A and B are shown apart, each in its own frame.
Chain A
Amino acid sequence: GAVVSQHPSRVICKSGTSVKIECRSLDFQATTMFWYRQFPKQSLMLMATSNEGSKATYEQGVEKDKFLINHASLTLSTLTVTSAHPEDSSFYICSVYNLGQSTDTQYFGPGTRLTVL
């Protein structure tokens, strides 16, 4: 498999502030990482695909200027929620795709719980 970490695990912030969430691939170099959002009692919704060294690809309906993604290295992708509002409160999960593994699947981080007051 693959080991993926996220930091912080939970964060509480005031409305209007920006929050940065880190996603790290600990045991292999990930050219592609993904960011998901999950609201309570709902399934995961893909927000964007993060490619190392290039711009992220956002899903329809996801605001690029609000959810800034930076995949500056093969082991780190960051998601910045800018000018956060209470409706941005959610569980944010990253994943990495390891083509080299026989399972050819994604491995997910533990998630970050964001609460915007």
Chain B
Amino acid sequence: DAKTTQPPSMDCAEGRAANLPCNHSTISGNEYVYWYRQIHSQGPQYIIHGLKNNETNDMASLIITEDRKSSTLILPHATLRDTAVYYCIVRVRGGGYQKVTFGTGTKLQVIP
């Protein structure tokens, strides 16, 4: 899997948008960007994924730059329950499972 780099921590005011960046400058053409989050003492939770187009679901939006070397996860209205470590991963999709390597992620602290 291509490596990703994320800031170690970020703060966000409750109710505001949280924008979490991820750099994946060595991403291959067939690799997708996946985001997970891990709330303290829980297992990781899948959030969203994308290839090159922007994606949105009930949880978040994913903005991928045109050159695909970076992406941003957007939580439009952060709540205290969004406080967690967010992991950005790139991997090939389909054709069976490929091993996923988790980096250190970004610890998002939502402040009241």
Contact = CB atoms under 8 A, between A and B. Distances in A.
Nearest to A108: B43
A58 to B, nearest CB: 12
A105 interface: yes
Interface string B28-44: 00000010001001111
A91 B41 contact: yes
Contacts, number: 48
B68 interface: no
A99 B97 contact: yes
Given A32-B97, A97-B97, A107 B102 contact: no
Nearest to B57: A103
B100 interface: yes
Tell me whether chain A's interface is mostly helix, strand or loop, or mixed.
Answer: strand
Contacts of B102: 43-45
Interface residues of A, number: 25
A42 B94 CA distance: 29
Interface in B71-112: 87, 93-94, 96-97, 99-105
Nearest to B100: A106
A111 B38 CA distance: 11
Interface in A6-46: 6, 32, 42-46
Nearest to A36: B102
Interface in A29-83: 32, 42-46, 49
B86 to A, nearest CB: 12
Interface in B9-49: 34, 38, 41-46, 49
Interface of A: 1, 4, 6, 32, 42-46, 49, 91, 93, 95, 97, 99, 103-111, 113
